[in-house]
Amino acid sequence: MVEAPPQRDYERLADVFTALANPLRLRILDLVSTSDRPLHIKAVAKLTKTKYSLAYKHVRLLEKANLVTIYEVGRSRVVALKSQELLQKAFLLGQEALAVK
């Protein structure tokens, strides 16, 4: 008898890969991961040379993919990485995929 393949949540998996499929979002993840503390989204916008609304849109997509957390500090929104280890694995997987010939 053949075993059924494990159940996968393809929709949520697609959200993660969609979030990782944009250079600006990868840059945002890199910035947040290398910061010694959570970053204000205004700082993310400034560091990526984008408007606040665009930076916020991308950060929200990263949050939907469960890669970052957004929370309020006073009247500001702050973004923090959910898992440094997970991000490192994603970058490593990407680098390995680029190396395949």
> Using one digit for the tens of pLDDT, what is the confidence trace for 2-44?
676 677 788 888 888 999 999 999 999 999 999 888 999 999 9
- Looking up tokens 């390995």, which residue turns up? 96
Q: What is the CA radius of gyration of the chain?
A: 16
Residues 44, 64: Cα–Cα separation, whole Å: 18
Two tokens, residue 9? 């949540």
pLDDT at 13 (0 to 100) = 86
The domains located in the chain, with CATH, are 11-95 (1.10.10.10)
Two tokens, residue 51? 């408007």
Q: What's the predicted TM-score (pTM) here?
A: 0.84
Residues 44, 57: Cα–Cα separation, whole Å: 12
pLDDT at 51 (0 to 100) = 97
Q: CB of 86 within 8 A of CB of 67?
A: yes
> Using one digit for the tens of pLDDT, what is the confidence trace for 84-96?
888 888 888 888 8
